[in-house]
Structure 1
Amino acid sequence: MIRLRSLPFTAQRPSAGSGLLLVNLATFTWATNMILGRWLRDSVGPLTLSAIRFAVGAAIFGLLLRSRPPEERRLGADGRLLAGMALTGVALFAPTLYWGLRETTAVNATLINGLGPLITGLLAAALIREPLPPRRLGAAALGLLGVALVISNGSPAFWRNLHGRRGDGLVLLAVTLWGLYSVLGRRVMARRSALSATAWSMALALPLLIPAALVEQQILPARWRPEVIAAVLYIGVAPTVVGFLSWNEGVRRLGPGGAMLFYNTLPIYGALLGALLLGEPLGPAHGLGGALILGAGLWAARSRD
């Protein structure tokens, strides 16, 4: 059993400003992952996509770790915590999210993801005793309101036409798993770099993901085309390497609860990418919702201990 409370936290807290930039870089790359994950749903199964993206990511991180000190390249005393990160944030999170996207709409998934800051804040308070002040709870609620405005474009009719889907529960489970990953990462990165923690969490997940992907291929064989291969490789580099590393370093600087308040920038970047790449319209509600999300994160960041 992993005893989170008994682990000391001795790392110095770097400035919050760089942490804010890092978590926003992560959510930007993940917005592209959400769009491509939805697009790939009929071409590549969720387990296959997860196995390939993290195999690519682990290979790149393995090269980066070669120049790190020896203790960064060993599991050491953090083995069980790193295994917990591998299980929650890699082996289970990604397939659960991709499977949920097969069974629900991107709108539903985005709205459910808006609960992430609240879920993570509660987990951090319960497991590692990270403070959960009223300001942070208020910011989480304000951010969720911003998410609702962005995805509904301020239209009341949107809510009348919103229906639950089978995949909604899977997306909610994925958000909870990501919260646990962030909490575990906070403890691990008290003693090692974000690069080492991210690399090991991916490497330890591969023995679970690769056999599962081979089984899935017998049921949902991938339909490989040049554009599908390019999309999968992109996911293996940008959302996986850049996104995960930026997120974990942001968690180290802000804490899991503080970092998750900016997780809600995902729909902002999704809306911007939709406008730029797909010609989708942007309205005043997108601007107001985006301002609420960013304002909520900045407001809560001021209360960081």
Structure 2
Amino acid sequence: MNQKLTPSTAMLLIIPPLLWAGNAVVGRMVSELIPPITLNFFRWAIAFAILLPFGFSIFRKGSGLWQSRKRFALLGLLGIGLYNALQYMALHTSTPINVTLVGASMPVWMLLVGTLFFKTKVAGKQVAGAVLSVGGVLIVLGHGDLQQLLALQFVIGDLFMVVASIVWAFYSWLLIQSTDTEALRRSWATFLLAQISFGVVWSGALAAGEWTLTTSQIQWGWPLAAALIYVVVGPAIIAFRCWGLGVQRAGPSTAGFFNNLTPLFAALMSSAFLREMPHGYHAVAFALIVSGIILSSRR
């Protein structure tokens, strides 16, 4: 595995947290319009339809999809069926800022999962990088004020996000297990479609359970339609493509630190929408997060 962090690899790993920051905001905005697990199902069902013309060859005999069906069924369950469903569930009772705060624990879970289940060693620089990066996130969340940080309150949605972060750590480590055939790796569309094919089944089953056990309703309209377009094209297709390629190049441990850019991007988006200029603490936080990324990825 190549652990060197090149500018192109860094860009690949910056795009997903930028799009995921918007995903948290949009997910909160439509939380009253559509049930969370159903939103996740529609998201991936539409993504499946978009990618099908580009990767339909994986369904042909000998493509390798059925040979690796257990692996892709697991990737689909973790990355497609569970992670975003848990995140959308979290946004029903928590705020985007709290959700991104809990998601900032990603580097820690990446290191723990890699050590306990994938027999990787944790270097001291990775621990130091995690401390710096999380410190930058805390500065953003507290707006540079310790009292505001201590006043943050957590709810059940934050627990959902903890589970989601652990799920994503397993997903990221499984991405680099090179057991796929060349036919599946030949195109990013085929590799992602292979995961979505199983993930849609998982998310559909979970959505069916949601409608069976709850009094779910959908309020159709342009706001929901626009939200679906964004979460499908941006956080789903583009972000997953960039994340998968970035993880393969840099490794899950290094990639996990980039996830801490999500709350920073979320804060900057809020500033833009509210027409507020960024503050000094944003610059400090950005410096700490980037320092953590650079430190953890150094040879």
TM-score scaled by length of structure 2:
0.90
Pick from 193, 200, 203 the counterpart of residue 206 of structure 1.
Answer: 200
* Counterpart residue number, 1:255: 251
Instruction: Report whether the alignment pairs 1:272 with 2:298.
Output: no
Distance in 2 between the 1:223 and 1:283 partners?
38
**Counterpart residue identity of residue 287, structure 1:** A
The residue correspondences of 1:49-128 to structure 2 (distance < 5 A) are 49-66=39-56, 73-128=63-118
Contact 2:33 2:220 in 1 (8 A): yes
* Counterpart residue number, 1:5: none
Q: Where do 5+ consecutive residues of structure 1 fail to align?
A: 1-10
Inter-CA distance 190–147: structure 2 relative to 1 (3 Å threshold): farther
**Counterpart residue identity of residue 184, structure 1:** L
Contact 2:12 2:242 in 1 (8 A): yes
Q: Where do 5+ consecutive residues of structure 2 fail to align?
A: none
Name which of structure 1's ranges 247-256 and 123-132 shifts more when overlaid on structure 2: 123-132
Distance in 2 between the 1:251 and 1:171 partners?
21
Contact 2:56 2:190 in 1 (8 A): no
**Counterpart residue identity of residue 107, structure 2:** P
* Counterpart residue number, 2:281: 285
Residue 214 of structure 1, CA deviation: 4.1
Distance in 2 between the 1:146 and 1:15 partners?
20
Distance in 1 between the 2:59 and 2:95 partners?
45
Pick from 294, 297, 302 the counterpart of residue 290 of structure 2.
Answer: 294
Contact 1:152 1:158 in 2 (8 A): yes
Distance in 1 between the 2:128 and 2:101 partners?
17
Distance in 2 between the 1:147 and 1:270 partners?
11
**Counterpart residue identity of residue 185, structure 1:** L
Contact 1:72 1:196 in 2 (8 A): no
Inter-CA distance 39–17: structure 2 relative to 1 (3 Å threshold): same
Residue 70 of structure 1, CA deviation: 7.0
**Counterpart residue identity of residue 88, structure 1:** L
Inter-CA distance 58–275: structure 2 relative to 1 (3 Å threshold): same
Contact 2:64 2:180 in 1 (8 A): no
Residue 108 of structure 1, CA deviation: 2.0
Contact 1:73 1:196 in 2 (8 A): no
Cα deviation per residue 1:48-104 (whole Å; 9 max; x = unaligned)? Answer: 110011112122222222478979943154322211111111111111111011122
TM-score scaled by length of structure 1:
0.88
**Counterpart residue identity of residue 232, structure 2:** G
Cα deviation per residue 1:162-187 (whole Å; 9 max; x = unaligned)? Answer: 22211111110000001011011111
Say which SS state the counterpart of residue 260 (structure 2) adopts.
helix
Residue 115 of structure 1, CA deviation: 0.7
Instruction: Report whether the alignment pairs 1:196 with 2:190.
Output: yes
CA-based RMSD: 2.4
Say which SS state the counterpart of residue 38 (structure 2) adopts.
helix
Distance in 1 between the 2:74 and 2:287 partners?
35
Inter-CA distance 254–72: structure 2 relative to 1 (3 Å threshold): farther
Residue 43 of structure 1, CA deviation: 0.7
Contact 2:210 2:216 in 1 (8 A): yes
Residue 141 of structure 1, CA deviation: 1.2
Distance in 2 between the 1:179 and 1:72 partners?
30
Contact 2:58 2:65 in 1 (8 A): no
Contact 2:138 2:149 in 1 (8 A): no
Instruction: Report whether the alignment pairs 1:220 with 2:216.
Output: yes
Distance in 2 between the 1:277 and 1:38 partners?
15
**Counterpart residue identity of residue 97, structure 1:** Q
Instruction: Report whether the alignment pairs 1:242 with 2:238.
Output: yes
Q: How many matched pairs?
A: 293
Distance in 2 between the 1:199 and 1:76 partners?
13
Say which SS state the counterpart of residue 204 (structure 1) adopts.
helix
Distance in 1 between the 2:286 and 2:20 partners?
17
Cα deviation per residue 1:233-279 (whole Å; 9 max; x = unaligned)? Answer: 21111110001111001011011111111111111211221122232
Moved over 3 A (4+): 11-16, 66-74, 188-192, 194-197, 214-218
Distance in 2 between the 1:220 and 1:70 partners?
37
Say which SS state the counterpart of residue 261 (structure 1) adopts.
helix
